[in-house]
Structure 1
């Protein structure tokens, strides 16, 4: 049997703080979600001024990246390239750029999802969060 690393509370705090710092550096008002490998919410920040919808989108994006074991942008790209049937994939509702899985020693520990600014900027904030605990 293999042992698998997992995110601890201290890790989630580091991720959220690093992502928040990246967003604040650019004056971006975003929501930031951290989920475990099953897509369950572990931590969340909604920065002052972030749109209400961004809180739901950040978590949905993070869940998609964790369950799919890849950045959420890959699903958006597949759909944009014509594979619209992917819109019916179960439990994946955040198929937009802005979430990055947290991978350590080939294990997906969870993901960071961000919403509130341009998709590539959301992803930049998510990567900053992931970098606090694992190389991106």
Structure 2
């Protein structure tokens, strides 16, 4: 019996690059956003609040990143998948740190979830585009 296992996780350098790219994408689109990157366990690695972004977006971005990392799915897809089962949808949605609307995406390397990115401050479409820009900065997607 093994007592431990190795777990891959996103680096601080990668997290910093992703949040910078996500916030820059928002700025270029005229949106003030917050971007957060968490590790595979959902713990914060990097966070950047764009100029003028709402304070509430800080927690929402972190929660989107956390949700994507621990469930291994984009937040919008998870929400859509759970919608068919209202009791399950509501039960999961009520868990602390869980967001079931767009703007969070897992960070996947070699088929393994190593973290998540979350963006808040724009519409769901804006936040998803900014999160995608963060992934692209890492050479993903």
Shift of 1:7: 1.6
- From 10, 15, 18, give the equivalent of 2:18: 15
Q: Does 1:130 align with 2:130?
A: no
Distance 2:96 2:136 in 1: 26
Deviations 1:95-133 (A, max 9, x none): 111011111100101011001110011010001101111
Shift of 1:61: 0.8
> SS of the counterpart of 1:27?
coil
Question: Please, what TM-score do these two structures have when normalized by structure 2?
Answer: 0.86
Flag as ranges the 4+ runs of structure 1 deviating above 3 A: 1-5
Radius of gyration: which is bigger?
A: 2
Number of residue pairs the alignment of both structures matches: 135
Q: Which residue of 2 aligns with 1:73?
A: 76
Shift of 1:4: 5.1
Q: Which runs of 5+ in 2 are unaligned?
A: none
Deviations 1:2-23 (A, max 9, x none): 8654322211111112112211
Question: Please, what TM-score do these two structures have when normalized by structure 1?
Answer: 0.89
Q: Which runs of 5+ in 1 are unaligned?
A: none
